[in-house]
């Protein structure tokens, strides 16, 4: 065999052994439980552990995730200047492959921003607004729900990220289904309350439905108690209840309620960027780091456990 032929064989073999990114999305069919906060903080925690991380905001045009990293103004400027194409909504379109071929590597590079906290990020875009309806017009269900997965496989995996975290809207629609399908692993931030445990139960049933209808398993990778006020007795009871209901999926560390997290977000930072974190912010950081380690351990342990049952 010629040298050239050999190097082609080696290149091919390399792509076969190059490990895929771990993927997860933050999701619960409810607003405000901490999906975006969790995606941002787990992302930075993974980066602190030396991982190359890409965050993707599919959660809607308000751009909450990019706001966490102080890059929203730049994104808004681009949108105002109509210098916002292609964007995250473009990659779902029928013409995406043709667009990507025409633009070459820049097509994907232009989608990705870097941040000061060591993670890369694909921001949201107003085009996400009409995306649910547009996907609804795609006749074939497999095609309708797997477009984002196909995009990650073909265009993002070659970039070699260790982890891809996707932030989803707090409702079940064609966009969140695309996120769940692409990630195959879901992280569910829950607040302490009976309503949340019902939502998490409904999610488990939903994941079962996806598995049966479309022949893909989406694993409940982590149920993450958030905004826990450990001074209250009730919070303790809910923590126990979640631990009992999800013995293998529950996160090893809960995240305390911390005004610092809220303030940092308003300033375009995560709690990791604070020079003088409060006690609660410090505890939140430690919790996210511990949960990031658990996530790596759980997602590296292939194959994933089937939905419905508990994690292996
Ligand atoms: N541990 C925490 N301590 C204090 N505030 C928090 C904590 N986690 C999240 N928050 C705050 O709660 C609000 C909702 O959080 P976040 O935006 O992450 O929720 P979400 O589930 O993404 O909401 P949505 O459904 O609107 O996308 C934000 O103001 C956020 O700063
Ligand atoms: Mg959100």
Return the ligand number nearest the Cα of 191. Answer: 1
Q: Which atom of ligand 1 is nearest to the CA of 226?
A: 1
What per-residue confidence (pLDDT) applies to 14? 53
Average pLDDT (253-276) is 97
What per-residue confidence (pLDDT) applies to 309? 38
Q: The CATH number of 3-298 is which of 3.10.20.30, 3.40.50.1100, 3.40.309.10, 3.40.50.300?
A: 3.40.50.300
**For ligand 1, which residues put their CB under 6 angstroms from it?**
31-37, 59, 64, 170, 226-227, 255, 257-258, 261-262, 265, 284
| pLDDT tens-digit series, residues 65-78 | 999 999 999 899 99
* Of 119, 113, 116, 173, the residue nearest 148 (C-alpha): 173
Has residue 197 got a pLDDT over 90? no
Q: How far is the CA of 37 from the centre of ligand 2 (A)?
A: 7
Has residue 296 got a pLDDT over 50? yes
Has residue 11 got a pLDDT over 60? no
- The mean of the pLDDT values for the chain is 90
The tokens describing 222, both together, are 């982590």
Q: Which atom of ligand 1 is nearest to the CA of 266?
A: 31
Buried/exposed 141-161: b ≥16 CB within 10 Å, e otherwise: eeebbbbbbbbbeebbbeeeb
Has residue 1 got a pLDDT over 60? no
What per-residue confidence (pLDDT) applies to 7? 61
Q: Report which protein residue has its CA nearest ligand 1's atom 15.
A: 34
What per-residue confidence (pLDDT) applies to 198? 86
Confidence of residue 311 (pLDDT cuts 50, 70, 90): very low
With beta carbons less than 8 A apart as the criterion, state whether 175 and 168 touch.
yes
The Cα 68–Cα 36 span in angstroms is 9
What per-residue confidence (pLDDT) applies to 312? 34
The Cα 236–Cα 106 span in angstroms is 50
With beta carbons less than 8 A apart as the criterion, state whether 202 and 50 touch.
no
Pairing relationship of beta strands 53-57 and 163-167 according to DSSP bridges: parallel
pTM greater than 0.85 (yes/no): yes
Buried/exposed 67-105: b ≥16 CB within 10 Å, e otherwise: bbbebbeebeebbeeeebebbbbbbbeeebeeebeeeee
What per-residue confidence (pLDDT) applies to 4? 61
The tokens describing 80, both together, are 């105002």
Q: How far is the CA of 12 from the centre of ligand 2 (A)?
A: 39
What per-residue confidence (pLDDT) applies to 269? 97
Mutation probe of ligand 1 site: the residue of 32, 67, 256 with most atoms within 8 A of C-beta: 32
DSSP states of 30-62: SSSSSHHHHHHHHHHHHHHTT--EEEEE-S-TT
Q: Report which protein residue has its CA nearest ligand 1's atom 16.
A: 34
Average pLDDT (18-41) is 93
Q: Which atom of ligand 1 is nearest to the CA of 284?
A: 1
Share of the chain above pLDDT 70, in %: 90
For residue 64, what are the CA distances in angstroms to 71, 123, 309? 10, 9, 33
Sign of CA dihedral 303, 175, 53, 95: positive
What per-residue confidence (pLDDT) applies to 15? 52
């Amino acid at each position: 065999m010629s040298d050239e032929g050999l190097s082609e064989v080696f290149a091919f073999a390399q792509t076969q052994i190059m490990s895929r990114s771990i993927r997860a999305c933050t999701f619960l069919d409810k607003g405000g439980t901490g999906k975006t906060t969790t995606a941002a903080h787990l992302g930075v925690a993974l980066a602190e552990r030396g991982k190359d991380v890409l965050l993707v905001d599919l959660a809607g045009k308000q751009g909450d995730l990019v706001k966490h990293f102080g890059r929203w103004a730049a994104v808004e400027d681009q949108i105002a200047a109509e210098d916002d194409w292609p964007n995250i909504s473009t990659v779902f379109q029928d013409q995406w492959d043709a667009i990507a071929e025409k633009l070459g590597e820049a097509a994907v590079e232009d989608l990705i921003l870097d941040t000061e906290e060591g993670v890369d990020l694909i921001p949201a875009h107003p085009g996400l607004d009409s995306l649910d309806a547009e996907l609804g017009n795609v006749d074939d269900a497999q095609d309708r729900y797997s477009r984002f997965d196909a995009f990650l496989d073909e265009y993002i995996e070659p970039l070699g990220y260790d982890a891809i975290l996707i932030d989803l809207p707090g409702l079940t629609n064609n966009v969140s289904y695309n996120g769940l399908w692409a990630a195959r692993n879901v992280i569910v931030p829950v607040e302490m309350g009976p309503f949340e445990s019902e939502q998490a139960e409904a999610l488990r049933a939903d994941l079962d439905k996806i598995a049966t209808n479309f022949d893909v398993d989406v694993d409940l990778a982590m149920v993450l108690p958030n905004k826990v006020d450990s001074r209250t007795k009730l919070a303790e009871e809910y923590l126990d209840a979640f631990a009992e209901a999800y013995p293998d999926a529950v996160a090893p560390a809960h995240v305390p309620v911390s005004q610092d997290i809220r303030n940092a977000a308003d300033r375009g930072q995560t709690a990791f960027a604070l020079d003088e974190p409060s006690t609660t912010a410090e505890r939140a950081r430690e919790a996210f780091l511990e949960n990031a380690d658990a996530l790596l351990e759980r997602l590296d342990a292939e194959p994933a456990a089937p939905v419905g049952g508990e994690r292996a």
